[in-house]
Amino acid sequence: MNAERSVLLNVHTGRGAAVESARLVVERFLQAGVAVRVLREEAEHIACAGAEIVPSGPEAVDGAEMLIVLGGDGTLLRAAELARPSKTPVLGVNLGHVGFLAEAEVENLTSVVDAVVGRDYQVEERMTVDVTVRSNGTVLAATWALNEATVEKTGRMLEVVAEIDGRPLSRWGCDGVICATPTGSTAYAFSAGGPVVWPEVEALLVVPISAHALFARPLVVSPRSTVAIEVLPGGPPGVLWADGRRRIDLRPGVRVEVCRSATPVRLARLHGIEHSGALFTDRLVRKFGLPVEGWRGRARP
């Protein structure tokens, strides 16, 4: 076996199809001479002889060529937590419903393995955001997000003031505010009425959720901007969610700051990124089942 090459598997073990797919992936990689790691908490479910069992954590991916995810977008977001510190590329194989972050569908699993073995893939970087919670200048908590950071109510309507680049923008009584990346524009922000942003566009999205205000439209701001959401004193508390996974409770009077992070998440792409805009358009049509009947395309001489 070629010890210089290895991949880490991250599997949604609650799905029978994912477990069966994982066994196939392990077998094919081992036959090709590529070592396979599986996380300790997943190894019992997968039960694959020949795979190396490693503890969960960022160190699990150290030295691996790629992290391959078998599951949906939620599983891929969990995998991003492992891969981001070492900048290891993540490749998603969709076994969920929409799977917008995934590169391939489960029926193409064999060709996915062959492409990785043949190094027939490219890597693109996806913008992430750093999120900081402050109280009177003191940092209370810090986290990051690939899709979005969301300030949300926990009970009664939340009272907040939005700020862009150090200047107040508007006060909202709302269910929450989403601060999203272009990658996250097709996730929670999309459901809340935000625009779809192509991945190569660098921007930050600010999307109020059910805001009671005259000015409460989704905003697209510079990637160099800092967005702040202040939870007003005297009002109800809130909660911060990062990618729907990491939770931080927000008491009245705190401030949540969101800005572009210097550390991206790297996604492996099997079909190249030279025409990523066209590929993203195709992905939108396929994932959302958009009607394109009647399209003729550009006339050719």
Q: What residues are annotated to the active site?
A: 73
168: CB partners within 8 A, 6+ apart? 161, 162
Question: CB of 183 within 8 A of CB of 146?
Answer: yes
List the helix and strand counts (H, then E) for the chain: 6, 20
Cα(99)–Cα(221) distance, rounded to whole angstroms? 26
Q: Using CA atoms in the order 152, 13, 33, 271, what is the torsion angle rounded to 10 degrees? A: -50
Rounded-to-integer distance, Cα 245 and Cα 261, Å: 18
Separation between Cα atoms, residue 193 and residue 217, nearest integer Å: 9
Return the H-helix or E-strand segment holding 247: strand 246-250
Q: How many CB atoms lie within 10 A of CB 14?
A: 10
